[in-house]
Chain A
Amino acid sequence: MTRRQLVKNTVIVTLLMAGAAVILLPFFWMLSLSLKPAHEIFAPGIDFLPSKLEWENYAKAFNETHLLRYLMNGVIVCGAILFFQILFAVPCAYALAHRSFWARGAIFGLVIAGLLVPYHVTAIPLFLGFAELGLLNTYSALVIPFVASVFGIFLFRQFFASLSTDIIDAARIDGLSESAIVWRIAFPIAWPAASAFAVFSVVAHWNDLFWPLIVVSDPNLATPPRGILYFRDEEAGSDFGPLMAAATMVTAPLILGFLLAQRKFIQGITASGLKG
Chain B
Amino acid sequence: MKINQELCVGCGMCVPYCPVGAIHLEDRKAHIDADACVECSCCRRSGVCRKNAIVQDELSWPRGVRSVMSDVFTVYEGTGVSGRGTEEMKTNDVTGRFRPGWVGVAVEMGRPIAACTFRQVQEVSVALAASGIVEFEPCNPITALMKDNKTGYFQDDILDERVYSAILEFPVKLEDLPRVLELCKQAAEKTDTLFSLDVCSVTQDGQNQKVLEILDKAGMSARPNGKVNLGLGKPAYQF
A binds B: no
